[in-house]
Structures are given as C-alpha cells and as structure tokens.
Amino acid sequence: MLSIGDELTLGQTLDTNSAWISERLLLRGVRVDEHATVDDDTERICGAMDRLSSGHDLLVCTGGLGPTADDLTRVALARVLGVPLVEDAGALAHIESWFTGRGGMPPSNRVQSMRPESARCLENPHGTAPGLAAETERCDIFCLPGPPHEMQPMFRAFVEPALRQEPGRVTRTRIILTFGVGESRIAERLGELMDRDRPERGLPLVGTTASRGVVACRVRHSGSSEAEVVAALDAVEDEINHRLGAAVFDRRDPSAGDSPDVADALPRVVVSMLRDRGERVAVAESCTAGLLGAEITRIAGSSSVFVGGWLTYSNDMKTSMLGVPVSVLEREGAVSGACALAMARGALDRSGADHALSITGIAGPGGGSDEKPVGSVWIGCASGGGGAEARLFRFKGDRDAVRAWAMRTALGLLRLRLAGLDMKLLAEIERVR
Amino acid sequence: MLSIGDELTLGQTLDTNSAWISERLLLRGVRVDEHATVDDDTERICGAMDRLSSGHDLLVCTGGLGPTADDLTRVALARVLGVPLVEDAGALAHIESWFTGRGGMPPSNRVQSMRPESARCLENPHGTAPGLAAETERCDIFCLPGPPHEMQPMFRAFVEPALRQEPGRVTRTRIILTFGVGESRIAERLGELMDRDRPERGLPLVGTTASRGVVACRVRHSGSSEAEVVAALDAVEDEINHRLGAAVFDRRDPSAGDSPDVADALPRVVVSMLRDRGERVAVAESCTAGLLGAEITRIAGSSSVFVGGWLTYSNDMKTSMLGVPVSVLEREGAVSGACALAMARGALDRSGADHALSITGIAGPGGGSDEKPVGSVWIGCASGGGGAEARLFRFKGDRDAVRAWAMRTALGLLRLRLAGLDMKLLAEIERVR
C-alpha cells in the first residue's frame, strides 16, 4: 500500500485508508506486507511506486489524484510505467457532468482526466477524481482517491473483483476476545500456540493484540479447502477457550459476517447479555464522572437496558443524591469499599434497575496518599437478587488511563456477574497496552 | 518514521503514532518525508530500517518492543547495526520493579531488557518496554514502544532534545484554537493568509487542522533571529484574531512552553474560566449519557469546578431525578427545548452549582422522525444569575459523531456564556472532519 500526501507525512490527517484496505484484503486472504506513506514529491512517489511494485503482486495507492499542483500520482505512475500521459475522453465527460448545475467545470479539473497511456481510468461515482489501474510484469497497480467515502466504493468495485486468488488456496481468520488478563499472561497461557513457525508446519497462526483493555487473539489459517481451514480454526479456538477460560467474552468469525471491529466489544457484550435477560443497569460514578454511562450508551439500542445514573463527584452529591452516609465519608473516606457499596446500593434503590455499578477512586495526578495511592479505585456492583460487593483495584498510568481502566473494569465485573462467574477473575487485571 | 507490527499492516489497529510524531517534529522544524509500516517480519523490518536510515538524518521507529515472539525490533536493530544483543542491567531492574506486587516478572519479559550492544536503553515510565537509541554514520535512530501513552512521554523526553538544529535558522510555531465555525469557513475568512507560497515570500505559513470539533490555525515561520520570527508570528496572530473573532478560544505558543497537544483544549479552557470566577457547573445528560461529565473531568483539578450530574436516559429518570414535568414529556417529548430547559433548571436547583448544562437529543441510528430527524439535539444552559436558554442543533454523522458533537457544543455554549459572548455564534456549527 502507498498513501500519498503532505497532509499525511506532516501529521495533519490520520491515514485511515491503509487500515481499512488492509483489513478488506485480509478478509479475501491477501496479506499486506508493507504500507508506505510519502509526501507530495514526484521523486519520492516514483521511488516508492517502483520499489513496492517490483517486490509485490499488488500495489494499492491512495491520494494525489486531485486537481491541484500538488496532486502528482498521475505523473508519477506514468513515469514508473514509462509511458506518456494522455487525455481520457470518458473521464473528461464524467468530470464535466459532475460540474453540471455547479457552474461548469473549473479549468483546473481538466487535468484529472489525464491517464498514463497504458493505464485505464476507474469511474468515481462520488467525486471528480477518477482512479487508475495499470499492470507491470509482476504487479497489479491501483490508484484511488484519498477521501474514504470516494475510495471505499471504488475499492469494492474495482480492486476486490481483480484480486488474484491463489488457485486452490483458502484463507480464513477467527478472533477470540478476552478481558481481565494482561497480554503477557495471555501469551504465557497460549504458549506454543503462538509459535511463529506454525504456518510452515501446516498449523493456524495465533497472534495477540491489546487495545482498550481487550486482548484479542487472532487466528489465521490457509489451506486447500474451506472445510479443512474451518476445522483447523475450530480446533484452535477450542484450545484457546480451554486455556483462557472465563477471560474469553466474545468471538468473531469475519468470514461468517461478524464485524472485525472490536473497539466496542465489551459494552456490546454487556448490553446484549442484559437485553437477553430483560434486565437493566444504572451507574453511580465518581472519578470517572460519566465515562461508564457514555461507554454503555455507545451501543445503539442500549436505551432498553440502561436506565441512567448519577455523577457524584463531590461528597455532598454522594450523600444527597445516593444516600451515602456522612459517617462513611468521614470514617472511611469517599475512596473506600463502604462508599462504593453505598453508592451502588443507592443507585439500585433509586433507579429501579436490576443492577447498579459504582466507581470511586483517585485518578490523579493529585489526591494520592501512602495508604490510598493514585490509581486506587473501588468498584461496586449491586444486583436486585444477588447482593452487593465491592473490589479494590490499583490501576497504573496517568489520569486518563486510570479512569479508562476503572470504566472498563466495571463493565468486566458486570459481565462476570451476568455470566455467573467469579468476580475474582479480575484480580489479575494489570495494565496492558 | 517506521511503524512495526502485524496489527498495523493487517489493518487491525490504526496507526496514530505516525501522525502524532510528524506533527511534533514539524513544530520543531523537522519535516517528515516518509512513513513506512511493516509487519512482524525480521527481514522486512531490517530492510526498512536499513533503507530509511541510509537516506535520512533521523529515523523514529515505533512498536515491536513487547515481550512476545513477534516483537522483533530489538533483533532487527542489532542486525542493521551489525552488533550482538546484550542484556541491559538497568533495563532489567526497571522491568523487575514493574512487576513488584504483581506476582513477579513473567520469564517472557526478560527479553525486553536486551539491547544491541552499541545502542542504549531509554527508560519507559509507563510500561515494561524500554526504548532504544542508536546512531549510524548518517542517522539518529530511536525505537519507541507502540502504545501511544508509553511512546509520547518517551518521545518528549528522549527524541525532542536530540533533534539537530539547522545552524543560524530559527523555526517557531503558534497555534490559535477555534470552536464553532467549520474548517472551510475558517479558510474562507483567512483568505490569502493561507496561500502556500508565503514562506517563499518571507511570510509565515498558515494551515488549519480540524479535530474533535476544534479547528486549529497553525502558523509556522522561519528566520535568522528569534526576535524577527516572533514579531512576524505576533502580527499574523493579531490578524487571525481580528478575522475569526469570538470563535477563537485559546492560543498556544509551543516555544514559550505551551503544550502543542490540543485534544483537551476546550474542557481545559472551560475549567480554567470557571476556576478564575470561583464558579461551579453541574450536568444533566440524556443522549450523551456521561460524555460531558467525563470530558470536563479529564482536566486534573476539575473537582473544584465540577459538582456532578445526572444521566437521565429514561423519561422516568428525567422526571424523578430532575423534576421535568410529565406534561412537558407528554406534550413536547424528551427531545424538546422545554425538556432541555427543565433538565438544566432541575440540575441547577438540585446541585447548588452556578451553571448547569443539559443535553437531550436523538443520536440514532433509530428514533428519528421527519419532525425530529436523527442528529436533532437540544442543549440547555441555566445559570444562577443569568437565566436559562436552550438551542436546537442538527448534527451530522453516525451515533458516535452526534454524541461527541453534542458534548463539545455544550462546552462551547458554556464557554461563550462565561466569556459574555452571544450563544448564537454556535449557530454556524456544521460537521467538519
């Protein structure tokens, strides 16, 4: 992959195209080895195109197809192919029609109808920049516009159908999601399943990635038939479930249509479990002050399971809004198990929900003491039938990290409770990437 | 720049480090020519390190420093430098101390204390992976861990102080922050100030970037003396303030020690204005369900200005917790100016705060109607002395975007009110990237 543009190398725009295209390609069994990003410099674009198209079977370029002087992808591709630029009548007609009713085509846009003589133009239904497709002896080259809403439909229409399938070769992936155990301990438990040479031995490759507290185990396998590949993935998934136990909270099978996007997996599972049971939750947040409620309600349809909550940042609010006894605050302080329990019970009683989660802690950077250092967070959970409990965690990291970990851990606790598992599992929580 | 990791080339994780580092380097006058991203393959990492370090003066690598078998940056750097790996006693001690009280260092983490013999380890205060620094004849090479919260402090501590300055040349930047006016309208108002050829004419370069609703105008200038450069920046800043007026809410002068990180600029300014006035705020959130409280309390020390709030997701909670009249909900619905006003007034009365913000709207994807389409959000503001008002916004985008815009706009409204400016300014709000 090659992303082209000053705005990318200068850090002004985040390149989301590379990740999107890589993921789409992987679902088709095409593995991306390298992304390169270069600025709007013809020499550097040519150098990268030349290098990448010599060493790979497929090169997808994005960006640099606009009408201005710093849009150089057309010129660079022509130079790499060793052919002149010519005007494409179809592309010109498309661009002219784009500006119908918009005051006519500005002269600067005419350059967008130029293509290297041996390339063909790819129609862009959402903008003026046509894409380009060309072949070298080894490599299929596609150049697509940079804006994602223009690039993505063109990728689907032109690149995906042209992917060379390795004949008789099927690649599939599986994602197993865990929460509550750090990435290095997950790796220890997976042991030899993570050996890098497994594909050479005909076994599925297992890797882990950690993001927002969720450690994802990603399993990939290639073989000669769908049935053989799926059976091998199933076997590895069973073994991973066996080794990781209650830490596993979700699975994704992208080839069966599951989303590979796992950013909201934890609240999604919690909302889904609540919905299945016809139960509702309320929150009482001190140091997170809304993070937990906001995370649950990221999920569309969460209104059927989320009642609401209280942000009791000050001690006065803890007493007046949730009935936390003044004696608890005076004797044990706001960061205490007794306060977390009283917050959870108060929220449960006042909301009419089936479960209530509470969070009270010291996010820092100030406010810590020897006894209660920064990162100390009590998380409480009270349920209509099941009593109440509170646990102390010590999260590492800065203010943002402590708050995010507290929010996620509260969700993890509720997940365990809803699944009938022991909340002690989360005692293993440590800060992972 | 070189980003390393299967999760990046496979599209499972978005590389935000490259953009962040590029932007930081640009502030110091260092322009990035190329980003490369490679998978966890020793050959490809070595190839990219070799190529990039031969052609450039600085190479910053991120990722691949973890404890598992697919973390290969150490090995690749040693091979490129042509030296063996040795154990670093200081790094080992740091890693061991990291696991104190966490059941001791897992054996797999020991590998993180290995460094190429001619490289030095860089301490990581937020994780187990030390960084690495090395020099070739031409190039300074830094390898930093992939997680942004570990990488960023290490970049500031080790890379920035080591940047080579062009002799006799001073580069300075200035950042002017706006909220409430879209990026294209900002560009229209700035007009010729944004011409790209200004540096060739000896004038400061002005660019805009939009992120999280804040449009930042970034001014950069180089010259032979500090005084000359600062005077030119001051003049452009005055002109920008003149053209953008009340949309400007903050400025940063990174060379005077201001942070160039503007991600939390809006809540930071609001908290600071409240603190200066000795006033406090409460929130009443429906569709955002905690986003606003969480954003205000991102700022350390916000406890002196943030009292707390209510997440009234259900209609019952709006009535029982904030006293919104049932008649208002029945007659005008929960997404109405009357409801937003009642929520803000209820929160003001019950919290004892000086100001209360309320948000009620339709975040989607469901729940919209012709009269109240998805994206319709009422935002209310009530103040002890200054009465109450509510305004209707129609935000574009998906559920996440609508909620985030609602939260930011509420902060923007309070900022205008605290500054004594007309809340109508925000009527210009439109969806920017």
**A426 contact B CB<8A:** no
A220 in the same domain as A274: no
> Are residues B290 and A308, on separate chains, in Cβ contact within 8 Å?
no
Residues of chain A contacting B27 with CB distance shorter than 8 Å: none
The pLDDT of residue B429 is above 60: no
Angle at A388 (CA atoms; ends A383, A391), nearest 5 degrees = 125
Closest partner CB to B308 (pick from A3, A314, A397): A314
Q: Give A165's pLDDT tier (boundaries 50, 70, 90).
A: low
d(CA B318, CA A36): 52
> Are residues B12 and A401, on separate chains, in Cβ contact within 8 Å?
no
User: How many contacts (CB atoms, under 8 Å) link A and B?
Assistant: 278
- Best mean pLDDT range from A14-28, A393-407, B269-283: B269-283
pLDDT at A426: 64
Mean pLDDT of chain B: 90
Q: Which of A256, A279, A305 is the last residue of a domain?
A: A256
Pairwise pLDDT comparison (A260 vs B286), residue with the higher score? B286
d(CA B126, CA B148): 10
A168-182, B220-234, B279-293: which range is least confident on average? A168-182
What's A327's domain CATH number? 3.90.950.20
B380 in the same domain as B279: yes
d(CA B187, CA B178): 12
pLDDT at B72: 93
**B191 contact A CB<8A:** no
B158 in the same domain as B175: no
Q: To the nearest whole percent, how much of chain A has pLDDT over 90?
A: 63
User: Does ipTM come in above 0.85?
Assistant: no
A179 in the same domain as A58: no
Q: Which of A162, A197, A222 is the last residue of a domain?
A: A162
**A219 contact B CB<8A:** no
- The pLDDT tens digits for B89-112 are 999 998 888 887 677 888 888 889
* Residue A96: burial class (beta carbons within 10 Å; 0-12, 13-18, 19+): middle
Token digits for A99? 């500006």
Closest partner CB to B294 (pick from A187, A289, A365): A289
d(CA B97, CA B123): 13
- Which of A:386-415 have CB within 8 Å of B? 396-401, 403
Token digits for A256? 């069966």
What residues contact residue B284 under an 8 Å CB cut-off, 6+ apart? B309, B310, B312, B322, B343, B344, B346, B347, B356, B357, B358, B359, B380
**B22 contact A CB<8A:** yes
Angle at B167 (CA atoms; ends B162, B168), nearest 5 degrees = 130
What residues contact residue B7 under an 8 Å CB cut-off, 6+ apart? A207, A209, B13
Token digits for A193? 């399943």
B424 in the same domain as B294: yes
pLDDT at B432: 30
Total Cβ atoms within 10 A of residue B374: 20
Has residue B433 been placed in a domain? no
Q: Give B428's pLDDT tier (boundaries 50, 70, 90).
A: low
Pairwise pLDDT comparison (B132 vs B213), residue with the higher score? B132
Q: To the nearest whole percent, how much of chain B has pLDDT over 90?
A: 63
Instruction: Give how many domains chain A has, as a whole number.
Output: 3
B176 in the same domain as B156: no
- Residue of chain B whose alpha carbon sits nearest to that of A291: B294
**Which structural domain range is residue A213 located in?**
170-256
What's A228's domain CATH number? 3.30.70.2860
- The pLDDT tens digits for A205-252 are 998 877 778 899 989 898 989 899 999 999 999 999 999 988 999 999
- In DSSP terms, which residues pair with A150 in a beta bridge? none
A329 in the same domain as A250: no
- DSSP states along A48-68: HHHHHHHH-SEEEEES--SSS
A321 in the same domain as A419: yes
The pLDDT of residue B154 is above 50: yes
Has residue A329 been placed in a domain? yes
What's B37's domain CATH number? 3.40.980.10
Distances (CA, A) of B131 to A26, A156, B19, B127, B201: 31, 40, 19, 10, 41
**Nearest-CA distance from B168 to chain A in Å?**
23
**B9 contact A CB<8A:** yes
- Which of A:33-52 have CB within 8 Å of B? 33-39, 41, 44, 48
> Are residues B312 and A313, on separate chains, in Cβ contact within 8 Å?
no
B161-170, B270-279, B283-292: which range is least confident on average? B161-170
Has residue B177 been placed in a domain? yes
Q: Which of B139, B162, B185 is the last residue of a domain?
A: B162
Has residue B407 been placed in a domain? yes
- DSSP states along B398-431: SHHHHHHHHHHHHHHHHHHHHTT--GGGGGG---
- The pLDDT tens digits for B378-388 are 999 999 977 89
B384 in the same domain as B242: no
**Nearest-CA distance from B396 to chain A in Å?**
15
